[in-house]
C-alpha cells in the first residue's frame, strides 16, 4: 500500500472521533434537558456536571482532530 494512501486512511479513521464527540455532546445535553424537565429544582445542581462533561467530550473531539491533522501534514 502506498504510504500516502495509508496516511489518508488513518486521518479519515481519526476524524471519525469528531463525529462521535458530536454524538456525545448531543446525548449529554439531551439527557440533561430530559432530567431538568422532570425535576426542575435539581437542574441547577447538575449544571456544573453538565459543563464538565461538555468540556471533556469536546477535548476528546479536539484530540481526534489533532491526530487527524498530524497524520495528514507530517
CATH 1.20.20.10 fits 26-74, yes or no: yes
Over range 5-22, report the average pLDDT.
Answer: 92
The pLDDT value recorded for residue 74 is 86
- Residues 15-70 pLDDT 10s: 998 999 999 999 999 999 999 999 999 999 999 999 999 999 999 999 999 999 99
Count CB neighbours of 1 within 10 A. Answer: 6
Are the C-beta atoms of residues 35 and 42 closer than 8 Å to each other? yes
Alpha-carbon torsion, ordered 63, 69, 72, 74, to 10 deg: -90
The residue extents of the domains of the chain are 26-74
The pLDDT value recorded for residue 20 is 93
Count CB neighbours of 6 within 10 A. Answer: 11
pLDDT of 1 above 90: no
pTM over 0.85, yes/no? no
Are the C-beta atoms of residues 10 and 71 closer than 8 Å to each other? yes
Amino acid at each position: 500500500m502506498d504510504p500516502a494512501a495509508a496516511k489518508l486512511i488513518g486521518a479519515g479513521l481519526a476524524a471519525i472521533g469528531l463525529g462521535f464527540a458530536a454524538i456525545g455532546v448531543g446525548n449529554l445535553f439531551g439527557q440533561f434537558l430530559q432530567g431538568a424537565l422532570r425535576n426542575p429544582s435539581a437542574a441547577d445542581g447538575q449544571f456544573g456536571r453538565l459543563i464538565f462533561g461538555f468540556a471533556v467530550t469536546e477535548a476528546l473531539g479536539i484530540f481526534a482532530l489533532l491526530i487527524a491533522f498530524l497524520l495528514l501534514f507530517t
